[in-house]
Structure 1
Amino acid sequence: MTSIQGNQGIQGGDVDVRTEDGVADAYFVHPDGPGPYPGVLLYQDAFGLRPHLRSMADRLAGEGYAVLVPNVFYRHGRTPVFDLPAFIDPEARPEIWQAIGPVMQALTPELVVRDADAYLRRLEEDPLVTDGPVAVTGYCMGARLALYTAGAHPGRVAAMAGFHGGRLATDAPDSPHLVADRVTAEVYFGHADADSSMPPEQQRRLEEALTAAGVRHRCEVYPGAHHGYTQADTSAYDKDGDDRHWAALLDLLARTF
């Protein structure tokens, strides 16, 4: 673990997490001090573990949390898995999805749940992380991973947040919303208004599933925001939506820990 240059008060660096299927490289960051600190598992979007995701984790660490950001695509290589530009504009570079699409599809719900156990165990065993449940947050595809994780590990996840998630409540037999009856965490979703991957009918289906299961939750739609609105290194970024996301996430964490 090395000190982060230019970020006073936090320390972070690359770590390896052993899973049932190999070793996932990850980024782990925490406040600069003996701790322990509340743990947060942060799931990436489809573009992977990159400088912007690290900066998001740094911000959480600056708020007093120990944050683990795994490379969930580790079966396809260590970070960086994809050759991406510093500023990502999929409309200008549609070939990006030719590389990313098959890798995303290979990460099945079964693999997500299996890996989540390893990520949560890594936090549990770290002396810098407080005993007890942790929080999970995810972005784009990471919102699905976060919901699967909360459903599969209810005793270990106290809070779950998902932002601009897509395909959260489909007709598929393994749709993420179907794990709602196993979730004990408090849940927050910030949907993108202009998001074809999470249309109003899916938003309603997710809300109904959470309500029927008795899950403490809040689902909000961010007006004018597009899928990916928190990701400042992409063309989808929306500052208002990003600011609102930080306020909602930090509020959830403050209530949890």
Structure 2
Amino acid sequence: MMIKSEFSDLATPTGVMRTFIHRPADNGSYPTILFYSEIFQQTGPIERAARLIAGYGYNVLVPEVFHELNPIGTVLAYDDAGRDKGNADKMAKSVEGYDTDNAATIAWAKTQPWCNGLFGAMGFCIGGHLAFRAALQPEIKATACFYATDLHTNVIPNQPGQHSMERLGEISGELLMIWGKQDPHIPASGRAQVYQALVAAEKTFTWHEFNGPHAFMRDEGDRYDPQLAMIGNQLALDLFARQLRA
């Protein structure tokens, strides 16, 4: 499908959040995907990944995940300075801010003529975790998490009892969990911890581990694996078709 790209500055309880919108150009009504970036916000690779999903008939919303901590429109570089700033922002943002961001985004999307009221989520790295976090919202029926960092740690949540894994009971939709076996950020023990928790909570999920490094979906840099990226995108599209098209 032909797509169009624009942005809207949304009001949230913690300030204005720029959200990039990639959607079919025919102005029809489609399911909406909350699409979460890495710590660098909407870089070129994230925009291209979002536009790819949009081309299959979805409204893809990419929020600036650290909008409270940066000027509107901030994009961090894939270098040491960008990584350090993004990791500092990750530590600084209140976990409750992600929940209010999600609720505000969903509420706004419901008012748009291009939204048919069906919602999913998708994300990479910290965005994989934030997609998982978005699944706590009752509207989210399908969530694709790519190498989600910190689900097995206490780094992101900074309030007692607010860890994403402690709130599994609030997830009602289907989860797609994709990992790289050579990812140092989520070792085998961490992946096993997440898997066992999902099983114990009797969640509906599929689980895929590939021989790939962290960020193998990012089409920039020497960790990109085009074959794995194609497989990963197809798995996400299959999930969304199954849960948001029926």
1:44-193 alignment to 2 at 5 Å? 44-75=37-68, 76-82=70-76, 84=77, 88=78, 93-131=79-117, 133-151=118-136, 153=137, 155-170=138-153, 174-193=162-181
TM-superposed CA distance for 1:33, in Å, is 1.4
| Per-residue deviation, residues 182-206 of structure 1 (Å, max 9, x unmatched) | 1101000101111122111221111
Mapped partners of 1:238, 1:175: distance in 2: 31
Shift of 1:19: 0.6
Q: What is the RMSD computed on CA atoms of the aligned residues?
A: 1.7
Shift of 1:56: 1.4
- What runs of 5+ residues in structure 2 fail to find an aligned partner? 156-160
Query: 4+ residue runs of structure 1 moved beyond 3 angstroms?
Result: 171-175
Report the counterpart of residue 217 of structure 1 in structure 2: 205
Q: CA deviation at 1:108?
A: 2.8
User: 1:5 — aligned with what?
Assistant: none
The whole-number CA distance in structure 2 between the counterparts of 1:60 and 1:98 is 29
Give the Cα separation in 2 of the matches to 1:187 and 1:70.
21
- Residue 35 of structure 1, CA deviation: 1.2
Distance 1:170 1:26 in 2: 28
Query: Does 2:7 correspond to 1:14?
Result: yes
Which position in structure 1 is the counterpart of 2:36?
A: 43
Q: CA deviation at 1:233?
A: 2.0
Give the drift of 1:60: 1.2
Opposite residue 116 of structure 1, the aligned amino acid is: N
Question: More relative contact order in 1 or in 2 (CA 8 Å, sep 6+)?
Answer: 2
What is the CA distance between 1:170 and its match in structure 2? Answer: 2.6
Q: Is the 8 A contact 1:169 1:175 kept in 2?
A: no
Is 1:205 equivalent to 2:193 in the alignment? yes
Amino acid in the other structure paired with 1:210: L
Q: Secondary structure at the match of 2:105?
A: helix
Matched residue, 2:183: 195
Structure 1 residue aligned with 2:158: none
Of 160-169 and 37-46, deviating more is 160-169
- The one-letter amino acid of 1:143's match is G
User: What CA distance in whole angstroms lies between the structure 2 residues aligned with 1:104 and 1:217?
Assistant: 26
Shift of 1:179: 2.1
Match of residue 19 from structure 2: 26
The 3-state SS of whatever aligns with 1:38 is: strand
- How big is the shift at 1:81? 4.0
Identity of aligned residues (%): 23
